[in-house]
Amino acid sequence: MRPARGSGPSPSQSSRVVTPAVPLAAILVACTTALGLAPSRVAATTPDPLCGSGPLEILLTNDDGYEALGIRALADALAQSGHRVTLAAPARNASGSGMSFTWGEIAVRQVSTSPAVFAVDASPATAVVLAATALYPVERRPDLVVSGINHGPNDGALLVLSGTVGAALAGTLLLDPPVPGMAVNVGRLNPAEPWDSDAHRDQFAAAAAHFARLLGASRGWFCDGGQVTRARSVLNVNYPALPPGQWRGTVVSGQDAASDLHVVFEAKGEPQGQTEGGARYAARLVRSEPPAARGSDRDGLARGFVTVTPIGAALASARAPAGGPARSLARRLRDL
């Protein structure tokens, strides 16, 4: 989860909007080959459910906890769209946990059976793997992992810290066969208001309804020839910190390389933080406003768009780097 940022600009600004004339799935295909997310070819077999238009088996999780308003709004919207939803999420807030994993015995409490809701005493990524391998009936498995709605944006360089994004990526890395994912995040309308205010409840409901339609439009991007070929990919969806009526459209974006959030630790309690139990420190968030790269997720959000960013777990290309910086590094290492 990320702290809220200020509201975006007036919707009067001009920018290209993705329209129904160009299907979202087609635009995603055109934008992702350079990211190393091009589809792998598979032999023709029975079509995968994700590649069709029927109901999906969705494993729903988050990092804000199973009782959070965002995940409950999304569960309702996905169920109303006809999908079968299994909600398995941390028993308490696990924001900022990335793709950390919980080892050892894990307590799981089934909160309800219809819909199936599980409170998992573990990290978001662990909840995904545990649910997919131990909570689903033997004859069933998820077609898609959906993580969110996160209470706050997840964009730019800090995606590596996000428990929401980490949970979506967990299915692509730790399950065999891998299960693709989508992460859903919404910017905070008013930092002075709690997340359970009427305005934020309406925002969650609108984002959930929009995402259900976005899922229908984009699910085919994971596929080629009726088979899932981008099973190790995640679509990271961010909704701007604006009332739903002011969203300007949906755009496919890149991941910005900058971060507008930094953290410092400060001593608390006694002088120099010394207490009987040792020194104590607390984190303080520091906001900055680095320029956003044009076409990036941070750029799109600042201009009032819903952004869809294809990502994967690879932090660098599998190919050896080339160019001046790579040659400089090679020279420094040649005698080792």
Write the pLDDT tens digit of every residue in 163-173.
999 999 999 99
Exposure of 54 by Cβ count < 10 A (0-12 exposed, 13-18 middle, 19+ buried)? exposed
Rounded Cα distance between 82 and 61, Å, is: 18
- 135: pLDDT confidence band, cut at 50, 70 and 90? very high
State the residue range of the domain holding 286: 257-291
pLDDT digits (tens, 9 = 90+) for 277-302: 688 999 998 988 889 999 999 999 99
Q: Which amino acid is at 306?
A: V
Residue 10 covered by a domain:
no
Residue 315: DSSP 8-state:
S
The pLDDT of residue 314 is: 85
Same domain for 74 and 214? yes
Contact 167, 18 (CB under 8 A): no
Question: Same domain, yes or no, for 98 and 130?
Answer: yes
Number of domains in the chain: 2
Residue 17 lies in a domain: no
Q: Are residues 137 and 234 in the same domain?
A: yes
In a domain, 159, yes or no: yes
Whether 94 and 160 share a structural domain:
yes
Based on the domain organization, do 239 and 272 belong to the same domain?
no
Which range, of 58-67, 139-148, 315-324, averages the lowest pLDDT? 315-324
Interatomic CA distance for residues 241 and 222, integer angstroms: 28
In a domain, 12, yes or no: no
What is d(CA 33, CA 296) in angstroms, rounded to the nearest whole number?
Answer: 16
CATH, residue 305: 3.40.1210.10
